[in-house]
A and B are shown apart, each in its own frame.
Chain A
Amino acid sequence: MAHLDTSEGFAVMAAGLRKRYASDPEALRGVDFAVRPGEIYGLLGPNGAGKSTALQILTTLLLPSAGSAQIFGEDVLAAQRAVRRIIGVVLQETGVDPLLTGWEALELQARLFGASRTAARRRVHELVELLSLQDFARRRIAGYSGGMRRRLDLALGLVHAPRVLFLDEPTTGLDPLSRRSLWDLVRRVRRESATTIFLTTQYLEEADSLCDRVAILQAGVLVAEDSPSGLKRRMRRDLIELEPQDPRLADRLLAIARQRQPEAMWDRQVVRLAVADGAAAAEDLLAAAREAGIRLSGLRVAPPSLDDVFLELTGAPGPDRLAGSGS
């Protein structure tokens, strides 16, 4: 069949995925993916966008209402076992038996994937090393901190050296240091074993620093797909906030801002405006304010947040235009 020939070349391939839970509005409304082997692919979206739903369908845990998906050509509906053999999955909420030790959980996992006892032990040794689990591998999981559990969960997902690793919000709830070390780990896994990685995240920063390509999911629809730099180029908006020392001068400060950007507004004690080039505009605004004798108590120039991306991609301009330009 023709579509099989095309899906073979992709690590993850999905067409027209839809999912409706009970009577709720559809959680996925026709989503396509084509992830290349070796790629780190990010699915970015806010709470409830449908990220976990998509990931669970791709990993055989959930039946789609419509659509199809293949992992390296193996169909997630027709060849579930074959798919499970080649994917590793770390879900949003860790699932580990608190009464086992990390070591036991890893060894069992390896054996359930068909490894002999000796091969399983060797693999567990490797993973304990790779993820620095030495200090607590022999302790019961019940006593692990959230960060330790995440690391163990990642190890469990890697036990059988999967060709595609799925990570659902791998760093949500981690402190900044653990987050960075997890990013390093993901990169290292990709580098050392050419594993394809499909991850979901709510953080633009994470998608930016980790992913080769990012798709933005909003209310069950992919509204854009591009490299992080491509997305940012498309955004081309920095946010500037100016806080006058004397709130009574707000009107005059706003007037100055509006001369440069008519959509500038007064909001929560600051003048806020979005511009193409934040640094240059801030310099110009500062000079104008000084000239008008307005002292500032606060100034912030920020790259677009995820909120801004969503506003830009799904808000006022209308999703159709951007969905069209996204693919």
Chain B
Amino acid sequence: MRVLQFVQELWLLTARSLKVAVREPWAVLPNVVISLFFLFVYDAGLGAIGQLHAFAGVPYLAFILPVALVSGSVGGAGAAGQALVRDLESRYFTKLRLTPVSRTALVMAPMVSGMIQLVAQTILILLVALWLGLKLPGGPLAAVAVVLLAAGWGLGFAGYAVAIALRSQSGRTAQAATFVFFPLLFLSDTFVPLALIRAGWLRIAAEVNPTTYVFDAMRALLAHGFETGPLLRGLAAILALAFLTLGLAVHAAQRSLREA
């Protein structure tokens, strides 16, 4: 009964978040465009280097696609934070706090809505990649796994974005905080495999950067199908991030919901 009520509340709040997101597509569209841009431009410009030995036969399209997906999922997560900041700034959030709905549902709704947007966007990018000639030796299930990895990674970032939004209550701070996305996306084996990276510091950065393991898991899925090693490392990176940031979000929610 309690659970049913929670699901109902979460659904009502999520549906409203989605409705509003659709009415303000400019918050999301640039993000999709940037992801597609990655895909087109890098594949067109760098596609030929996929023939190098270091790529071990992975077509460049399959190599660069995860970059587009991860950049898209981080953007989708940022949208969750932005949605919450909008509500905080318009004080609509206070109105929602005055209803008897669960506090957890209140904070989770923008995340769930962000995840739904993100999944839609990931599927769109995958379809474009297929149209560009992507082959899927792992079959459709591998594609589903890629979507789930992107969603998990996005959820980790959504937790981070929501925690910052609740703590700062300010749109600008929340926006500024999404810049961690740059080092995370680019200090990695973003464009070429680790073996081709010359600078020692960048190799080290890539090895400690959890994004690297998400990229590798997706690449393995796209190029070969299910491979235990990369998949487990990718999942571990995602779970670690999600635990950390969702913990932060819950903590921030408890603090600000009691005080503010």
Contact = CB atoms under 8 A, between A and B. Distances in A.
Nearest to B5: A114
7 contacts: A84-B98, A99-B23, A100-B16, A100-B19, A104-B19, A112-B13, A112-B100
A93 interface: yes
> Top 7 closest A-B pairs, CB basis?
A95-B91, A112-B99, A97-B92, A95-B95, A84-B100, A99-B20, A81-B100
A113 B92 contact: no
Contact of A108 (B12, B86, B91): B12
B101 A112 contact: yes
B9 interface: yes
Interface string B64-103: 0000000000000000000000110011111111111100
Contacts of B96: 112
A55 to B, nearest CB: 12
A104 B18 CA distance: 13
A87 B24 CA distance: 33
B91 A93 contact: yes
B97 A112 contact: no
A91 B91 contact: yes
Nearest to B22: A99
B198 interface: no
Contact of B90 (A85, A87, A96, A108): A96
Given A95-B90, A108-B16, A111-B12, A89 B100 contact: no
A98 B98 CA distance: 18
B100 A113 contact: yes
Interface of B: 9, 12-13, 16, 19-20, 23-24, 86-87, 90-101, 258-260
Given A95-B91, A95-B92, A113 B99 contact: yes
B98 A59 contact: yes
Given A109-B99, A112-B9, A113-B100, A94 B16 contact: no
A63 interface: yes
Interface in A32-59: 59
A61 B23 CA distance: 30
Given A61-B98, A63-B258, A97-B16, 4 more contacts: A84-B98, A84-B100, A95-B90, A104-B19
A111 B91 CA distance: 19
A221 interface: no
Nearest to B106: A112
A156 interface: yes
B24 to A, nearest CB: 6
Contacts of A95: 90-95
A313 B95 CA distance: 36
B94 A61 contact: yes
B90 A97 contact: yes
Contact of A84 (B90, B93, B99): B99
Contact of A96 (B23, B92, B258): B92
Interface residues on A, range: 20 to 34
A87 to B, nearest CB: 8
Contacts of A93: 91
A89 to B, nearest CB: 5
A93 B90 CA distance: 9
B100 A91 contact: no
B254 to A, nearest CB: 12
Given A61-B97, A84-B99, A112 B12 contact: yes
Interface in A153-205: 156
Interface in A285-321: none
Contacts of B99: 84, 109, 112-113
A225 to B, nearest CB: 27
Contact of A156 (B12, B95, B258): B95
Contacts of A94: 91
Nearest to B15: A108
A98 B100 CA distance: 22
Nearest to A153: B95
Contacts of A113: 99-100
A95 B23 CA distance: 19
B259 A63 contact: yes
B2 to A, nearest CB: 12
A61 B260 CA distance: 7
B259 A85 contact: no
B86 to A, nearest CB: 8
A115 to B, nearest CB: 11
A23 to B, nearest CB: 15
Given A89-B98, A109-B99, A111-B12, A99 B24 contact: yes
Contacts of B97: 61
Nearest to A112: B99
Contact of A98 (B16, B90, B260): B90
Contacts of A97: 16, 20, 86-87, 90, 92
Contact of A85 (B93, B94, B95, B100): B100
Contacts of A91: 91, 94
